[in-house]
C-alpha cells in the first residue's frame, strides 16, 4: 500500500460505450467516471468525454468514449480497474520505472488467476447448457 510520501501511479484510460440514445451515453460515461473515482485508492485527476458519434453501418446506434487520467496508490488497483471497467486502452504515464515487491506481484497474479477461473467457470456452464439445448432441439425436431 502506498503511503503519503510514496509517489502515486498515474494512468491514462479510455472507456468506451455503445448504445442509444446519444444523450444516454454521456450520462453513462459520467456515472462510470463517478464510480471509478469512488474506488478506494483511486482518484480521477482529469477527464475528457467525447461527443457521441453514429456507428458505421448501424442505424440509430452511437459510440462515445472518455479519456481519463487516474492516480492509483498501487499497481494492483490498475488490475482491478481493468477487470471491473474493461477499458478500451490503458497507459501507465508515471512513473517510467515501476518496482514491485514479490508480494505486490503475487497479489496481481492471484487476482488475475481468480478472475480467469471465474470466467472459465462461466464458459463451462454456458457450454454445458448449450449442449443440453442442442440435445433437446434434436429431440423436438425428430418428432
What rounded mean pLDDT belongs to the chain?
Answer: 91
CA distance 22 to 1: 40
Is-contact 66 86, C-beta < 8 A?
no
Tell me the pLDDT tens digit for each residue of 119-142: 999 999 999 999 999 999 998 888
CATH class of 1-97: alpha beta
Beta bridge partners of 108: none
What digits encode the pLDDT tens for the residues 102-117? Answer: 998 999 899 889 989 9
Q: Which three cell numbers stand for residue 131?
A: 449442449
Provide the Cα torsion 113, 114, 115, 117; round to 10°. Answer: 80
Domain segments of the chain as ranges: 1-97, 100-143
Q: Collapse the DSSP code of 20 into the 3-class scheme (helix H, G, I; strand E, B; otherwise coil) and give the result.
A: coil
Please tell me the distance from the alpha carbon of residue 79 to that of residue 92, in angstroms, as a whole number: 12
Torsion over CA of 89, 93, 95 and 101, rounded to 10 degrees? -10
Given a cut of 60, is residue 2 above it in pLDDT? no
Q: Which residues contact 3 (CB under 8 A, 6 or more apart)?
A: none
23-40 pLDDT, tens per residue?
899 999 999 999 999 999
Amino acid at each position: 500500500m502506498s503511503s503519503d510520501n510514496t509517489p502515486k501511479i498515474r494512468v491514462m484510460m479510455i472507456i468506451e460505450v455503445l448504445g442509444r440514445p446519444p444523450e444516454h451515453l454521456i450520462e453513462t460515461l459520467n456515472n462510470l467516471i463517478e464510480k471509478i473515482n469512488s474506488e478506494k485508492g483511486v482518484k480521477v485527476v482529469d477527464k475528457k468525454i467525447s461527443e457521441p458519434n453514429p456507428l458505421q453501418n448501424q442505424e440509430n446506434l452511437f459510440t462515445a468514449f472518455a479519456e481519463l487520467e487516474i492516480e492509483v496508490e498501487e499497481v494492483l488497483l490498475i488490475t482491478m480497474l481493468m477487470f471491473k471497467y474493461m477499458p478500451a486502452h490503458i497507459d501507465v504515464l508515471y512513473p517510467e520505472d515501476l518496482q514491485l515487491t514479490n508480494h505486490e506481484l503475487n497479489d496481481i497474479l492471484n487476482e488475475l488467476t481468480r478472475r480467469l477461473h471465474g470466467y472459465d467457470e462461466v464458459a463451462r456452464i454456458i457450454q454445458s447448457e448449450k449442449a443440453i439445448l442442442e440435445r433437446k432441439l434434436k429431440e423436438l425436431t425428430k418428432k
